[in-house]
Amino acid sequence: MKNYIKFLVPSILLSTSIAFAQDNIEDSDVVRENVAEFQIVEVELEDNMKMLQETKATYPVVFDENDKYKLNQDRIVVNPSLETTFKLDTDRDSNYEREITINYVRPENFSYEFMLTENGLKVWSNKGMSVKEIHMIDDKNMKKKVNMLTSEGMYNIIMKNGEVYEIEVTDMK
């Protein structure tokens, strides 16, 4: 009887703790995120100005829905989510006068080019794709046509071929 109790009590405790641990499972396509790239680029501009660009790429890990609950699941390759911080120094001292942080998903067929100025962040693209318009989306989901990213919020980048991409400005100083 002693052996039976020694076996029964730990097995009940172990089984109930496992059951409670499985209640917190969220149903999401993203299993985890891997940070695989970090890049720092410093660009010398005219008039004793310099721009620092720090980019962190986060690759979400997503598995094929058809392989759910299988041991060897196929991984779906998705475009990375980029967080880029631009810093502008206009007078060559130790601190930066202008700073902006943006979040966006890297497009498949082209890449963005950015230039931080004292007025805001200019956006254009390379590899044959050109930007047609930039729209700022306000709190009421209204769109306003702008020339550059000038304040925090969501922006739609509309290309000449009609494709629309989103860039979010998360921090601006």
pTM for this prediction: 0.74
SS3 126: coil
**113 φ, ψ to 5°?**
-120, 135
Side chain identity at residue 147, one-letter code: N
Per-residue pLDDT of the chain (173 residues; tens, 9 = 90+): 555 565 555 666 566 555 444 444 455 666 666 767 788 888 888 878 889 999 999 888 888 888 888 888 888 888 899 999 999 998 878 888 999 999 999 988 888 999 998 899 999 987 777 899 999 999 889 999 999 999 999 999 999 989 999 999 999 88
Distance CA(121)–CA(167), nearest Å, equals 12
